[in-house]
Structures are given as C-alpha cells and as structure tokens.
C-alpha cells in the first residue's frame, strides 16, 4: 500500500469503504506530515490537532455503522484563513487584525465540508487582505514553496497550495478574486478551479470573489465541488443549485473546438518556458483530435490598469477604515500599493476604472464565445523569490502578472489551472483552462482530459530531500 499521504480523496473513499484504512489513521498521518514539514514551509495559521482527531473518531464510527455522510467523510482538509470557521479568528493575513475575535459561525464552504464529514485539520496562511499573489504576510510571515524553499508559492491562497504540495491533506479550499487559487496552483504544480461566480456559496460575497478547490488531481477537485456547490441562502449572489456529479461523464477531444491564447494582450511578457509548455499542451489536444486555433489577444493595457485602479480603491477604502495604530501594522508594501494613486482618486476616477473592468468582462466573454474552451498560460512567469510581496517588488506596479487570470473573475467564467510540466530548473508550469459561464462541469471534464494527455509528472517533494 502507498504511503497514506499519497492517497487521493477518491482513493481514501474506496479504502474507507473496504476498511483498508480508517479516518483516525489517516488523520494521525496528516498531523505527523504537518509536523515534519511545517517549520520549513509555514503553510498553517492554525492546526487543530485535538479537534481533527475528534472529528476523525466520529467519522470512523459512521463508517463502521455504514452511515458515512458523503464520499468525503473522514477525508482530511485545510481551509484558507479568510474563510470563516466557527471558533477561529479570521485576521485576513494582516497584523492589523491580530486581535480578531473567534468567528461565531462557519462560512458556507466550511459549513458544507463539515456537513460532509471532512476532517478539518486547520487554517492556512495568506498575505495581507488577500491582495498579494505572494506568500508574504505581516501576520503569518513567509510561506515557502515546497518544491524549492527559496521560491514563492504565489497567492493569495499560498498556505493552501504549499500544504497540498507537502501532502498535508488531499483537499484544500482557497479563495480567488484575481487568480488566487490558480496562480498558486501553477507555481506549485497543482490543480485548482475558480468556479463560475455564484456556483460556490460564500460569505461575505464580493464582485469576482469565489471559493474553490486546490488539489493534486482533477477528480479530487470535482469531489470537493460536489460538496462546496450545495446551496446556502447567506450568499445573495449564488446561482440556483443543480445537483450533479461534476465528473459524471468524460469528454471527447474530437468533439472540441479550442481557443489557444498564448498572449492575452497586456501585463508581463510570457516567459519562454511558460510559452513552450502552453504550446505543447495545445499541440497535445490537437493530436488527440481537437480543433485548435489561436485567439487574438483581447485585453488592453487600459483595461488591466482599470482593474488595478479598482482594486487599489477598494483596498484603500479598507485601509482608511482602520484606526491609525492598526494601519501602521499593515504590510508597508500593501499600504503604498493601495495609497499612491487611490488617495487622490475622485468618484469619477473610480467609476472610470469600474467601466474599464466591465469592458474587460465583455471582451473576455466575446473572445471565448466561439470556442468550447480556451487554453492559455495561467501565469506569464516562473515562481519568484519567496521573500518578495510581488514579482518585481514594485508597489506601484504590483499586479501585472494577473493579466491571464483576473479577466475571468470579472467575466464570471469558470477557469482552472492544471500542471503541465516543469521548467529547466524543475519548477512547475501550469496551463489555464477556461469555459463558458456556468459550465463548471465542462471545465472539470476538460481538465481531466488535459490531465490524461500531459507528460509524466515529477514525484512530489519530501521534507529534507
């Protein structure tokens, strides 16, 4: 039998059903794994060992009684720090909220996995306010990429991705408002799905903000989506619930028309190794029988800057709502990033930025409309230095690397990242897979096809290796 930490959620379901493994054994192994890795990568904000073991014992009793709550009953899982869990603070990655009180109730994603019987190991790290694609936080410190400890896991679901690579659990929940599950996935060699806006109920809700799975396999992401997509009336933006199994059918490459987008039109230049990996993935789809054609770039620098300005205005508003003493505790990079322009914005400036965001949304939908799916780089760059808050370390140009991902937050389309291969230095390179709005099941099935076509993958890293 493989080491327990190598089991997928899908395999654990089978092992529990056959009584080959118990949730208690698996949870103990997960906690031991955290103990081996955590000092090296700093992926966890809180580890609830006692609570996890108590949940595992209850799950084990349900399996013995033939009363498992779901296929994920007893499967270990982590939850990003900003997704509220009953009894835990949610400081949103910043030292300014180090004294945040415990939450009184679970947010919808946490409530759904608890109902499904998942074993919640604890909460994962994130940068200040979730507004960096980085593992750097004024509260949590530096979260490192397990593939190479001097590299950044990206963010803002940085701890979730690092924990997934290190094998803490098969399942991890992150959030994404501009790329925050997909960027860590590409830099850590994982699968992640940003669902259609409203597909996974979340609270509090905000334009473009979603919760989604980060996993090692597409099948595990689909199993988690089966649970996360269940309804919750607290999310006033949620879509009507449709019960379905997200991987109930395969997809035939020969039936597909794929748009290949090697360049989105703005942001950082695509690294040659990223470009080569994405082109290789498109060619593999073509060899499998799909019709593949290149897409004309749709994003303008003005649209991307409008998105940046809107994010800056939002975060500056949050910053100024804090007492002065708390503002001083926010990561200085974040303070300069959201203040250098936004402090002078007029109402017209903000609405002009919002108009450009809507133009970006329209352009993203129009560019993908002729195709079943679109494939592109997830990030234009390779993993950067662990200590930096952003690639380039420039607070006045902090987000040019999100150009491939952020349009689909605003267009509300489902978009996944899946690892394709590795660069010359052995670090992962993923590709982004985008579907039509509401076709989350289609994107998951397309991702499984890409997963089957990709080259052999590197073994997961081991602590001390």
Q: Which residues are catalytic?
A: 80, 156, 180
**CA-CA distances (angstroms) from residue 335 to 11, 80, 268, 329, 398?**
45, 23, 23, 10, 12
Q: Is 78 helix (H, G, I), strand (E, B) or coil?
A: strand
From the number of C-beta atoms within 10 Å of its C-beta (0-12, 13-18, 19+), residue 69 rates as middle
| Phi/psi at 434 (5° precision) | -120, 140
* Distance from C-alpha of 177 to C-alpha of 195, rounded to nearest angstrom: 11
Strands 119-124, 76-80: pairing is: parallel
DSSP state of 272: H
DSSP code of 443?
Answer: H
What are the Cα distances from residue 404, in Å, to 179, 388, 414?
A: 8, 21, 13
Tell which residue, 382, 380, 385, 418, has the closest CA to residue 399. 380
Q: Name the nearest CA neighbour of 368 among 438, 455, 447, 318.
A: 438
Cross-strand pairs, 375: 260, 433
Burial label for 426, CB within 10 Å (0-12, 13-18, 19+), is: exposed
| CB 308 within 8 Å of CB 299 | no
Distance from C-alpha of 221 to C-alpha of 164, rounded to nearest angstrom: 12
CB of 274 closer than 8 Å to CB of 263: no
291-294 and 210-215 beta bridge pairing: unpaired
């Amino acid at each position: 039998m493989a080491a327990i930490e190598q089991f997928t959620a899908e395999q654990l379901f089978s092992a529990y059903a056959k009584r080959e493994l118990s949730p208690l054994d698996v949870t103990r192994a997960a906690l031991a794994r955290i103990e081996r890795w955590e000092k090296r990568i700093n992926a966890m904000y809180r580890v609830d060992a006692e609570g996890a073991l108590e949940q595992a014992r209850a799950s084990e009793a349900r399996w013995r009684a033939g009363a498992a709550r779901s296929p994920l009953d007893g499967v270990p899982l982590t939850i990003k720090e900003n997704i509220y869990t009953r009894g835990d603070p949610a400081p949103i990655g910043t030292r300014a909220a180090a004294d945040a009180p415990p939450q009184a109730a679970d947010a919808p994603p946490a409530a759904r996995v608890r109902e499904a019987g998942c074993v919640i190991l604890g909460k994962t790290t994130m940068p200040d306010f979730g507004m960096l694609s980085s593992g750097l936080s004024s509260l949590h410190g530096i979260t490192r990429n397990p593939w190479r400890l001097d590299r950044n896991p990206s963010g803002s679901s940085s701890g979730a991705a690092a924990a997934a690579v290190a094998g803490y659990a098969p399942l991890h929940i992150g959030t994404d408002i501009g790329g925050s599950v997909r960027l860590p996935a590409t830099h850590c060699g994982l699968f992640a799905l940003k669902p259609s806006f409203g597909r996974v109920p979340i609270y509090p809700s905000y334009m473009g903000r979603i919760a989604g799975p980060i996993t090692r396999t597409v099948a595990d992401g689909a199993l988690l989506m089966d649970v996360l997509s269940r309804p919750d009336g607290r999310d006033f933006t949620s879509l009507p619930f449709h019960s379905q199994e997200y991987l109930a059918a395969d997809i035939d490459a020969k039936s597909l028309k794929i748009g290949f987008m090697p360049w989105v039109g703005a942001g950082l230049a695509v690294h040659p190794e990223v470009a080569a990996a994405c082109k290789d993935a498109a060619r593999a789809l073509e060899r499998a029988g799909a019709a593949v054609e290149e897409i004309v770039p749709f994003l303008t620098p003005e649209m991307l800057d409008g998105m940046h300005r809107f994010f800056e205005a939002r975060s500056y508003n949050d910053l100024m709502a804090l007492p002065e003493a708390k503002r001083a505790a926010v990561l200085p990079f974040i303070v300069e990033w959201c203040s250098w322009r936004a402090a002078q914005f007029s109402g017209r400036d903000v609405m002009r930025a919002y108009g450009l965001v809507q133009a970006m949304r329209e352009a993203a939908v129009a560019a993908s409309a002729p195709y079943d799916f679109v494939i592109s780089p997830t990030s234009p760059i390779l993993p950067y230095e662990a200590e930096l808050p952003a690639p380039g370390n420039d607070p006045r140009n902090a987000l040019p690397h999100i150009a491939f991902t952020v349009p689909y937050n605003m267009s509300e389309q489902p978009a996944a990242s899946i690892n394709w291969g590795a660069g010359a230095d052995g670090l992962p390179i993923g590709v982004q897979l985008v579907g039509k709005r509401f076709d989350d099941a289609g994107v998951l099935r397309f991702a499984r096809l890409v997963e089957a076509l990709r080259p052999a993958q590197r073994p997961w890293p081991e602590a001390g290796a």
